[in-house]
Amino acid sequence: MTRFTFVHAADLHLGSPLSGLASKDAAIAERFAGAGRRAFEDLVTRAVEEQAAFMVVAGDVYDGDWPDHTIGLFFAQQVAKLARAGIPVVMVKGNHDAESVVTRKLGLPPSVTTFPTQRAATHRLEHLRVALHGRSFPDRAVDENYALTYPAAVPGWFNIGVLHTSCAGHAAHETYAPCSVADLAARGYDYWALGHVHDYAELATDPWIVFPGNLQGRSVRECGPKGAVAVDVEDGRVRAVRRLVVDHARFHRLDVDLAGIAGPQEAAAAVEEALRPLAAEAEGRLLAVRVRLHGETEAHDRIAADRAGIAAEVQAAAQRVHEDIWLERLSLATTRPRSATRTPEAGLSIDPAALLASVERDADFREKAAGILDEIAKRMPPALAAEGGLLAGDLDGLCAEAEALILGRLSGEAR
């Protein structure tokens, strides 16, 4: 009876900064930025503890070209640990670490095999009767269906396909080496080790076709547990696929309904209560949370008038729950109660709310405002634009926020 376990990882993105925290405390930002390396260190430790027969990395070891040799030295150090434990590494290059992208090179142990870029090839582990098939990306953009050119399965061996691909049905990711589940199944392999999609996904179980997800979430677009998988094989068949969660920092989106809340202090208390379950799930990891406040509340104008103040209150609430919970961004989507009526503030001969409403409805104003927002959006950094940015083309929402800000400050001055 032949039994072994191998580790399947992908999308390490070593060298990638975790976005959305640049304005926070420098020491905290540095801890978040180092989470990816610590996650890979833990994966190497887990592979040794599992007595893994080998490790498969399905592309994007690096986030891009190295600014210096630090990232390359770190990876070389970690695979050397695996080599000393008798665990070879078999990998492909993806779109982020394609042959033409990463220009600096460092020697790796002989136990590390990287598939070629010119054509798909087979690497055999004779003592296990395992055949791994793969092809690396020569360039960042690959629109060819690589799966159709992979070698035939080796009869009587355990066959693994290693492929960096968007596969079908993952429109949230850029389309690289596109293929379908049927294309993969047609090769007759026992397991497909995929990379590129950053969410864990089992596309099929006969044969097993798996995205392990990335090793470490990098922004609020990548929430939840992250890691790799351990695959248990017995007598030539996959018996179990187990997640190995190794992330050191997590991102989360939190919606807090402020319906019925009367003031900013109560709003902060509501956020604190909503954060407690997240702290338990994080199990001591760094946690960056994007908090969205919504609902009809009498505190609407005061919250909008003091965004910085309410953000500080929310951060303080987070710290009361756990010292390593950080506010990544505060999003305000509250509204004034529909039953509320406003009268002109004392000393004013006009109704500010009515005046602002009339400006908002003015066609000329809307056209000019939309043009300005479009110009700002074009100049925004790509990473911010990809996350939805602060504008998102929501003119009505911005007008509502501006109205609340002005009215809230007028109320404060009147008091």
What's residue 335's pLDDT?
87
Which residues make Cβ contacts (< 8 Å) with residue 53, sequence separation at least 6? 4, 5, 6, 87, 125, 128, 130
The residue-averaged pLDDT of 370-375 equals 71
pLDDT value at 380 more than 80: no
What's residue 373's pLDDT?
66
Q: Which residues pair with 229 in a beta bridge?
A: 8, 243
Q: What is the pTM of this model?
A: 0.84
pLDDT value at 51 more than 90: yes
What's residue 86's pLDDT?
97
**For 301-325, how does the pLDDT look when each residue is reduced to its tens digit (9 = 90+)?**
888 888 889 999 999 999 999 999 9
CA distance 216 to 226: 5
How do the domains of the chain map onto residue ranges? Answer: 3-245, 250-340, 344-415
CB 14 within 8 A of CB 63: yes
Torsion angles phi and psi, residue 260, rounded to 5: 85, -5
What's residue 410's pLDDT?
60
What's residue 262's pLDDT?
87
> Percentage of residues in the chain with pLDDT exceeding 90?
64
Average pLDDT, rounded, for the chain: 86
Q: Which of 142-146, 202-206, 390-394 has the lowest mean pLDDT?
A: 390-394
3-class SS letters over the chain = CCEEEEEEECCCCECCCCCCCCCCCHHHHHHHHCHHHHHHHHHHHHHHHCCCCEEEEECCCECCCCCCCHHHHHHHHHHHHHHHCCCCEEEECCCCCCCCCCCCCCCCCCCEEECCCCCCEEEEEHHHCEEEEECCCCCCCCCCCHHHHCCCCCCCCEEEEEEECCCCCCCCCCCCCCCCHHHHHCCCCCEEEEECCCCCEEEEECCEEEECCCCCCCCCCCCCCCEEEEEEEECCEEEEEEEEECCCEEEEEEEEECCCCCCHHHHHHHHHHHHHHHHHHHCCCEEEEEEEEEEECCCHHHHHHCHHHHHHHHHHHHHHHCCCEEEEEEEEEEECCCCCCCCCCCCCCCCHHHHHHHHHHCHHHHHHHHHHHHHHHHHCCHHHHHCCCCCCCCHHHHHHHHHHHHHHHHHHHHC
The residue-averaged pLDDT of 338-342 equals 61
Q: What is the second-level CATH architecture of the domain 3-245?
A: 4-Layer Sandwich (3.60)
What's residue 371's pLDDT?
74
Q: Which of 59-63, 119-123, 280-284 has the lowest mean pLDDT?
A: 280-284
CB 78 within 8 A of CB 41: yes
Query: Which residue has better confidence, 240 or 343?
Result: 240
